[in-house]
Amino acid sequence: MNNNNNREPSSLGIVGFGAFGQLAARHLGKHFEITAYDPSQNVANVAQHLGVTLSSLHSVSQADVILIAAPVSSFENVVSEIADACNPGALIVDVGSVKVVPAEIMRRMLPNHVDIVATHPLFGPQSARQGIEGLKVAVCPVQGNRHAQVAAFLRKALGLTVIMTTPEDHDQEAAVVQGLTHLIAKVLLRMGPLPTRMTTKSFDLLSEAISMVQHDAPEVFEAIEKANPYAETVRRRFFDLAASLSVELEATSTTQPHNESGH
């Protein structure tokens, strides 16, 4: 992706080199010169393997494109430091699971001389094991006009299916799509161990869905369920409907005629 000065290749700074930051580096390494920042000391070997240079947050924030893959809990502090270091014309992109709150933080805290695009790759390391071509990514314009450039790059260079949306529309749909998926997975895992021998195809698909999210970092579930402003409403409606269905089933069982044969 070219920057404003049309230099190739552009530099990419990844802020947060956890599971998704590393996944991004694997697929973006041939398009960018990558530096990364992560407070953990356990990422040095992975960075070296991927050809990524680890550096300070200030240094990484001076790249042409800055990819924020930090947890929601530290997002505001990270953006504050990026705001002090980023160069005019930089492109700031985040990849979090929620969009309303991060978009507001970036719009409020980052300078007017940068472009801001909020994105949400609708996949993670587990679902991307076979490659990312054809997988979906949501793109939300926040500031500037380079969202079209970002969308074109994601389509043409990475083969992703791009969904243009707003932070509000994204979070409303994600509250159902992600919120319920992770919620159901958490409940079923607590009911485990789940059957693996005498299973139906539908149960196998459910188990596969659980396996895709069960190894996500705890902060991912926390963000999906607590940082999304629409998640609580969806969650309460789901539990209310489940409770209502339970009442219906109990009522049905009490009205069924008893089998009195033998008496």
CATH number at residue 88: 3.40.50.720
> What is the spatial distance between Cα 215 and Cα 213, in angstroms, rounded to a whole number?
6
- The residue assigned the tokens 């044969």 is 261
The alpha carbons of the chain give a radius of gyration, in whole angstroms, of: 22
- CA atoms within a 13 Å half-sphere pointing along the CA-CB vector of 3: 21
Query: 38 with 148, same domain?
Result: yes
- The residue assigned the tokens 């070296």 is 48
- pLDDT score, position 215: 83
Query: 181 with 120, same domain?
Result: no
Q: How many domains in the chain?
A: 2
pTM above 0.75, yes or no: yes
> Of 110, 75, 74, which Cα lies nearest the Cα of 90?
110
C-alpha distances in Å from residue 15, one per residue of 74, 113, 146, 261? 11, 20, 20, 71
> What is the spatial distance between Cα 142 and Cα 160, in angstroms, rounded to a whole number?
20
Length of the chain in terms of residues written: 263
Task: Give the domain-ending residue among 122, 142, 165.
Answer: 165
- pLDDT score, position 41: 86
- pLDDT score, position 2: 47
pLDDT in tens, the chain (263 residues): 644 445 554 999 999 999 999 999 999 999 999 999 999 989 999 999 999 999 999 999 999 999 999 998 899 999 999 999 999 999 999 999 999 999 999 999 999 999 999 999 999 888 899 999 999 999 999 999 999 999 999 999 999 999 999 999 999 999 999 999 999 999 999 998 999 999 999 999 999 989 888 888 888 899 999 999 999 999 999 999 999 999 999 998 766 665 555 54
> Is 160 exposed, middle or buried (CB count within 10 Å of its CB: 0-12, 13-18, 19+)?
buried
Residue 202 forms part of a structural domain: yes
Residue 258 forms part of a structural domain: no
**Strand-pair category, 91-94 with 65-68:** parallel
- The residue assigned the tokens 């407070």 is 39
Domain range for 187: 170-248
> What is the spatial distance between Cα 257 and Cα 254, in angstroms, rounded to a whole number?
8
Query: 28 with 135, same domain?
Result: yes
Helices 72-85 & 100-109, crossing angle to 10 degrees?
Answer: 20
The two three-digit tokens of residue 149, written as one number: 């450039």
Query: 152 with 42, same domain?
Result: yes
> What is the spatial distance between Cα 130 and Cα 114, in angstroms, rounded to a whole number?
34
Query: 92 with 187, same domain?
Result: no
- pLDDT score, position 4: 47
Residue 45 forms part of a structural domain: yes
Amino acid at 79: V
Task: Give the domain-ending residue among 148, 165, 182.
Answer: 165
* Pair 72, 222: CB distance under 8 Å: yes
Task: Give the domain-ending residue among 111, 144, 165.
Answer: 165
Query: 25 with 143, same domain?
Result: yes
